[in-house]
Structure 1
Amino acid sequence: MIATSRDGHVAVVELQREDRRNALDLALCTAVHEAADTAVADGARVIVVTGKGSAFCSGADLGGVYGPDFLQGLYGMLRRLTQLPVPLIAAVNGPAIGAGTQLAMACDLRVADETAKFAVPTARNGLAVDAWTIRTLSELAGAGRARRLMLAAESLDRDEALACGLADRPGTVADAIAWAHEIAEFAPLALAHNKLVLNGSSADDEAIGRSFADVWASDDVQEAALARTERRAPVFRGA
């Protein structure tokens, strides 16, 4: 159902329901959630999420979207990805429809290949997505394009997604992994703090304050200063 691999500090989580174009059901949502948690626990500094075959994720498996267990599994997984203390990169290797667009948005960065397409066609199938999805789509793609996707059930191709900010870079899965390796060399505590602020709210002010203090008190701050004097690249340890 999924495959995970590791290359240094980078973990890759690949959805493997190719016969269903990687559509999300409860079992796959649970597997992604657990794989991401395991990767962080094992020391991954960046996670790349992608799909096997010609689709990133074709959406929710319509055979099971109406049950409360699926909704809890889907939104629990999406929320968990936004809360992880490491950056996630979605390697969008084809259509990301409905829950596929949600999965891509739950990641922090998106690399889209030439076949990528984004859509949230709830108006066509009588379903709904949560407020986080609609607001995040508006923040990333702009209010006008979000209205086109949500009210006119339109889609965005790779070029338009790049132009509006829904996708960050053009490229393949290999390009996404290469970018992940670059990011994995940065200071882990600083990355975790930045992600916490970007994804947080005013309710997280206390946690953000602690995170800010932890960064400034870390050994990595001293390592950066020493590396500057020694004219070398710093080696961050996340402590």
Structure 2
Amino acid sequence: MLDTSRDGDVAVLTLRRPDRRNALDLALCRAIDAAAHEAVADGARALVVTGEGTAFCAGADLGGVYGDEFLEALYGMLHGLTRLPIPIIAAVNGAAIGAGTQLAIACDLRVADATARFAVPTAKNGMAVDAWTIRTLGKLAGMGPARRLMLAADSLDRDAALACGLVDRPGTLDDALAWAREIAALAPLTLAYNKLVLNGSGADDATIEAEFARVWASEDVKEAARARTEKRAPVFQGR
């Protein structure tokens, strides 16, 4: 159902429900949430999420999407990803439909291969997504594409998603992993602070100011200064 692996400081979560094109059900939502938090606890500095086979995630499993328990697990997982202190890259292979698009935009960055396709066709099935999903689509893709997705049940292929900013880079899982390794070498406290501010995450001004001060008081600032003097790459420890 979900495979977890490590590539140095990068944790990789691979959705594995090929018979359902990696559709999300209650168990998979809970597994993603638990594995992502465990990766942070184990010291991962970046996370890549992808799907096995020809689909990133074909949406919610229509056999069980109607219950409150599923909705709580789905949105708990999605919003939980936005609050994790490490960058998350979605390596989008094939269809990312409905909850698949939601999973992709809950990640911080998106790398998509030539087969990627995004859609949120709730208007075709009488369902709805939360306000966070619609607003985030508007911020990432722009209001024009977001309106087409949400009001006309349109879809975006990889090139269209690249053009509007929903996708950050074209590429495969290997490309996403290479980018994640580069990001994992950056200053962890700075990345956590930047993500906190970019995503909002319900943090109040006092929390944001405290994290800002923590970055400037960190050993990593001193390490960067030493590295400049010694003409070498800094080795950040996240403290």
TM over 0.5: yes
SS class of match (1:238)? coil
**Are 2:201 and 1:233 equivalent residues in the alignment?**
no
Q: Which residue of 2 aligns with 1:55?
A: 55
SS class of match (1:144)? helix
Q: Deviations over 1:58-110 (max 9, x none)?
A: 00001111000000000000010000000000000111000000000000000
SS class of match (2:57)? coil
What is the CA–CA distance in structure 1 between the aligned matches of 2:163 and 2:138, rounded to whole Å? 14
SS class of match (2:159)? helix
TM-score of the two chains, using structure 2 as the length reference: 0.99
What is the CA–CA distance in structure 1 between the aligned matches of 2:210 and 2:74, rounded to whole Å? 30
SS class of match (2:56)? coil
Q: How do residues 133-212 of structure 1 correspond to structure 2 at under 5 angstroms? A: 133-200=133-200, 203-212=203-212
Q: Which residue of 1 aligns with 2:82?
A: 82
What is the CA–CA distance in structure 1 between the aligned matches of 2:89 and 2:76, rounded to whole Å? 19
Q: Deviations over 1:98-145 (max 9, x none)?
A: 000000000000000000000000000000000000000000001011
Q: Which residue of 1 aligns with 2:122?
A: 122
Q: Which residue of 1 aligns with 2:28?
A: 28
What is the CA–CA distance in structure 2 between the aligned matches of 1:13 and 1:138, rounded to whole Å? 26
SS class of match (1:166)? coil
SS class of match (2:13)? strand
AA at the equivalent of 2:188 = P
- TM-align CA RMSD: 0.8
SS class of match (2:60)? coil
Q: How do residues 39-54 of structure 1 correspond to structure 2 at under 5 angstroms? A: 39-54=39-54
**Higher mean C-alpha deviation, range 206-215 or range 82-91:** 206-215
What is the CA–CA distance in structure 2 between the aligned matches of 1:73 and 1:48, rounded to whole Å? 20
Does the 8 Å contact 2:196/2:203 carry over to 1?
no
AA at the equivalent of 1:137 = L
SS class of match (1:56)? strand
AA at the equivalent of 2:64 = G
Deviation at 1:202, TM superposition (A): 7.1
TM-score of the two chains, using structure 1 as the length reference: 0.99
Structure 2 alignment gaps of length 5 or more? none
Structure 1 alignment gaps of length 5 or more? none
Q: How many residues align?
A: 239
Q: Deviations over 1:36-69 (max 9, x none)?
A: 0010000000000000000000000011110000
AA at the equivalent of 2:76 = G
Q: Which residue of 2 aligns with 1:216?
A: 216
What is the CA–CA distance in structure 2 between the aligned matches of 1:65 and 1:202, rounded to whole Å? 27
Q: How do residues 11-26 of structure 1 correspond to structure 2 at under 5 angstroms? A: 11-26=11-26
What is the CA–CA distance in structure 2 between the aligned matches of 1:88 and 1:173, rounded to whole Å? 13
Q: Deviations over 1:2-31 (max 9, x none)?
A: 000001100000000010000000000000
Deviation at 1:204, TM superposition (A): 2.4
C-alpha change, 1:76 and 1:202, in structure 2 (3 Å) is: closer
**Are 2:105 and 1:105 equivalent residues in the alignment?**
yes
AA at the equivalent of 1:174 = D
**Are 2:65 and 1:65 equivalent residues in the alignment?**
yes
Deviation at 1:201, TM superposition (A): 6.1
* Aligned-residue identity in percent: 74
Does the 8 Å contact 2:90/2:109 carry over to 1?
yes
AA at the equivalent of 1:223 = E
What is the CA–CA distance in structure 2 between the aligned matches of 1:80 and 1:201, rounded to whole Å? 9
Does the 8 Å contact 2:101/2:119 carry over to 1?
yes
Task: Tell me which stretches of 4 or more aligned residues in structure 1 moved more than 6 Å.
Answer: none
